[in-house]
Amino acid sequence: QILILDFGSQYTQLIARRVRELNVYCEIHPYNNLPEITDDIKGVIFSGSPCSVREEDAPDVDVDMFRGKVPVLGVCYGAQLMAQKYGGNVLPSEIREYGRARLSHVDSHFDLMKEISLDSQVWMSHGDTIKELPKGFDIIASTPSVAVAAYKVQNELTYGIQFHPEVTHSEEGKILLRNFVVHICGCAQEWTPDIFAETTIAELKEKLGNDKVVLGLSGGVDSSVAAVLINRAIGDNLHCIFVDNGLLRKNEFESVLESYKGMGLNVKGVDAKQQFYDALEGITDPEGKRKAIGRVFIEVFDQEAHKIQDVKWLGQGTIYPDVIESVSVKGPSATIKSHHNVGGLPEKMNLKVVEPLNTLFKDEVRNVGRSLEIDPNILGRHPFPGPGLGIRILGDITPEKVAILQEVDYIFINGLKEKGLYDDVWQAGAMLLPIHSVGVMGDERTYEQVVALRAVTSVDGMTADWVDLPYNFLQDVSNDIINKVKGVNRVVYDISSKPPATIEWE
């Protein structure tokens, strides 16, 4: 594997993704919390950083631990750190070195730069620049304004680059990373979804033995893939629980339960609608709703889990971005995000936790799901929040409002599917607004509710943009909703991007 040392760059996760796209396994670790260094580590990449190597307490690492022992690639800050450490000179750059630049000099006979073309576009993002290299360091690429775009240490597999090969704007960045990871480090490109599934199932068998595991299914991709992996390892010793919190999409509980059963999972559906409605009665504050929903979920889940004898483990669908964040360099305490849907569950239940997906990115989870032949309808589903329609009904929640919103949401989502638009959208849904507006329907005046439709594109939910859905589609959906859903006489479409407007309205 490749070890990526994180100095806090916003791009560190991207480096990991690019390496994995080469079918090579890699892990990110904060520079100040190194893992055990084993022979499995075939190369090390130092990430960029928002800090400057010239700062007093700049992030630092003992480079000699790696240098000369395994190939090392410093990216941006990582390159500057090594240059500075071994006697070079790093200064604030005189001209701005942000954005695109083109390579004006490339020593392509050097392994790192093989097949990188002269004039290739690279992406720069740094305030400091390497003015002078240490003795024994050679320039292997330059741009018109950055002489040391890339360097190599003589007689050693140690390299530095001041641009960012991991961003797609660096046109041949992938080639450069392939040169490093595959040719220089000699990593075999064997880390595929099939291999991941196979080895994970074997590891789970070993780890879990005859123990019983309980896992909460949500209908989403992560928990489903996690369940299938564990199920393939221990069969019916995995007990899945799927809770109907009364805030799911229309027919979701029944249809998802059916498809889980079809996948051979030992799953119990629990109708807890009333418990959730009771707990939510009169609550209007979004955080209050989330807390109430989370609390009842834990109660219901715990109660069900206790009906199973001798459970030792809690299975969870936690994925890699939940575990790492680039901000991890701020200190170990910031490294772990609690999994927001079931936060508090492991503590409450006093079980050991098994999280087979905690090294994977979302798209990798989908690929593993495909390799396990999980229903494409489950793998391709839009994200749906744990509190469900509860945070899409503004104001207090009643079963009647849920029923209205379920109908609206169904028409919208079904329409997207029928028109082949579903897969172009990252997430979509409808919000039931706490306002009434006047309508004329036939000879009558109505005073009914307004719904807002929202459809966004996004990569990770952190930022999002509204989707420019075809007008005639919106028109049809609007007509359908107003004609079919009693209680709604007005439909609006949300054209706000995030930031500032979050995807959910609450």
Q: Please, which residue, 439 or 461, has the CB nearer to ligand XMP?
A: 461
Give, as one character, the DSSP assignment of residue 235. G
> Which tokens in the block code for residue 402?
């849920």
Q: Please, which residue, 337 or 436, has the CB nearer to ligand XMP?
A: 337
Q: Please, which residue, 312 or 498, has the CB nearer to ligand XMP?
A: 498
Q: Please, which residue, 13 or 427, has the CB nearer to ligand XMP?
A: 427
Q: Please, which residue, 156 or 504, has the CB nearer to ligand XMP?
A: 504
487 binds ligand XMP (CB under 6 A): no
- Kindly give the pairing relationship between strand 89-102 and strand 72-75: unpaired
Q: What is the largest CA-CA distance in the chain?
A: 89
- Rounded to 5 degrees, φ, ψ at 448 are -130, 180
80 binds ligand XMP (CB under 6 A): no
Residues of this chain, 103-162, that bind ligand XMP according to CB under 6 A: none
Part of the chain binding ligand XMP (CB under 6 A), chosen from 48-56, 208-216, 273-281, 498-506 = 498-506
- Rounded to 5 degrees, φ, ψ at 415 are -60, -45
> Which tokens in the block code for residue 137?
């360091």
107-141 in b/e form (b: 16+ CB < 10 A) is beebebbbebeeebbbbbbbebbbeebbeebeebb
Is 76 a residue of the active site?
Answer: yes
Q: Per-residue x/- marks for ligand XMP, 281-310, CB under 6 A?
A: ---------x--------------------
Choose, by CB under 6 A, the member of 383, 395, 439, 487 that binds ligand XMP. Answer: 383
Q: Cβ of residue 363: shortest distance to ligand XMP, in angstroms?
A: 15
Q: Cβ of residue 200: shortest distance to ligand XMP, in angstroms?
A: 24
Distance CA 506, CA 289 (A): 10
Q: Cβ of residue 385: shortest distance to ligand XMP, in angstroms?
A: 3
Comparing C-alpha atoms, which of 463, 260, 479, 242 is closest to residue 375? 260
Choose, by CB under 6 A, the member of 341, 358, 367, 489 that binds ligand XMP. Answer: 341
Q: At a CB cut-off of 8 Å and minimum separation 6, what does 126 contact? A: 48, 76, 77, 80, 93, 97, 98, 162
Q: Cβ of residue 389: shortest distance to ligand XMP, in angstroms?
A: 11
Q: Cβ of residue 295: shortest distance to ligand XMP, in angstroms?
A: 13
Distance CA 470, CA 452 (A): 16
Q: Please, which residue, 239 or 290, has the CB nearer to ligand XMP?
A: 290
Choose, by CB under 6 A, the member of 385, 407, 433, 454 that binds ligand XMP. Answer: 385
387 binds ligand XMP (CB under 6 A): yes
461 binds ligand XMP (CB under 6 A): yes
Choose, by CB under 6 A, the member of 386, 410, 428, 481 that binds ligand XMP. Answer: 386
Choose, by CB under 6 A, the member of 69, 100, 340, 417 that binds ligand XMP. Answer: 340
Comparing C-alpha atoms, which of 245, 242, 248 is closest to residue 218? 242
Q: Cβ of residue 337: shortest distance to ligand XMP, in angstroms?
A: 12
25-60 in b/e form (b: 16+ CB < 10 A) is bbebebbbeeeeeeeebbbbbbbbbebbbeeeeebe
| Given the residues 26, 51, 76, 187, the one annotated as active site | 76
Is 164 a residue of the active site?
Answer: yes
- Kindly give the pairing relationship between strand 158-161 and strand 150-153: antiparallel
Q: State the DSSP H helix or E strand holding residue 215, giving kind and residue range, or none if neither.
A: strand 212-217
Q: Please, which residue, 383 or 395, has the CB nearer to ligand XMP?
A: 383
498 binds ligand XMP (CB under 6 A): yes
Neighbour tally for 381: CB within 10 Å: 16
Is 51 a residue of the active site?
Answer: no
43 binds ligand XMP (CB under 6 A): no
CB 414 within 8 A of CB 382: no
Q: State the DSSP H helix or E strand holding residue 188, giving kind and residue range, or none if neither.
A: none
| Given the residues 26, 97, 164, 364, the one annotated as active site | 164
Q: How many residues sit in the footprint of ligand XMP (CB under 6 A)?
A: 13
Distance CA 476, CA 296 (A): 38
Distance CA 279, CA 361 (A): 35
Beta bridge partners of 159: 73, 152
Q: Cβ of residue 287: shortest distance to ligand XMP, in angstroms?
A: 9
Q: Cβ of residue 91: shortest distance to ligand XMP, in angstroms?
A: 41
245 binds ligand XMP (CB under 6 A): no
CB 433 within 8 A of CB 486: no
Q: Per-residue x/- marks for ligand XMP, 406-445, CB under 6 A?
A: ---------------------x------------------
Q: Where are the beta strands (DSSP E) in 286-365?
A: 311-315, 352-354
Distance CA 77, CA 163 (A): 10
88 binds ligand XMP (CB under 6 A): no
Catalytically active residues, by annotation: 76, 164, 166
Name the site residues for ligand XMP (rule: CB under 6 A).
290, 340-341, 383, 385-387, 427, 461, 498, 502-504
